[in-house]
């Protein structure tokens, strides 16, 4: 998954304004105690990060 696709999915689910705030502030154990931004900066694949976000935030199957 490309980063542009990842950020589009984040914006589609959370809204443009909240997506970045969520990605910056919300720490998830599935990301090793990191935020989305930290996980991506640490080299995590965007697809893996999206899977964790979907699991933690109960994103509907049609958006996954």
Query: Is the pTM here over 0.85, yes or no?
Result: yes
Rounded CA-CA distance 60/51 in Å is 12
What backbone torsions phi and psi does residue 42 show, to the nearest 5 degrees?
-80, 0
pLDDT at 62 over 90: no
pLDDT tens sequence across 22-53: 999 999 999 999 999 999 999 999 999 999 99
Instruction: Decide: helix, strand or coil at residue 14.
Output: helix
Rounded CA-CA distance 25/20 in Å is 9
């Amino acid at each position: 998954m490309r980063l542009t696709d990842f950020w589009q999915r984040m914006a589609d689910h959370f809204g443009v304004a909240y997506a970045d705030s969520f990605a910056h502030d919300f720490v998830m154990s599935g990301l090793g105690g990191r935020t989305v931004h930290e996980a991506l900066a640490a080299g995590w694949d965007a697809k893996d990060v999206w899977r964790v976000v979907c699991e933690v935030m109960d994103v509907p199957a049609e958006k996954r």
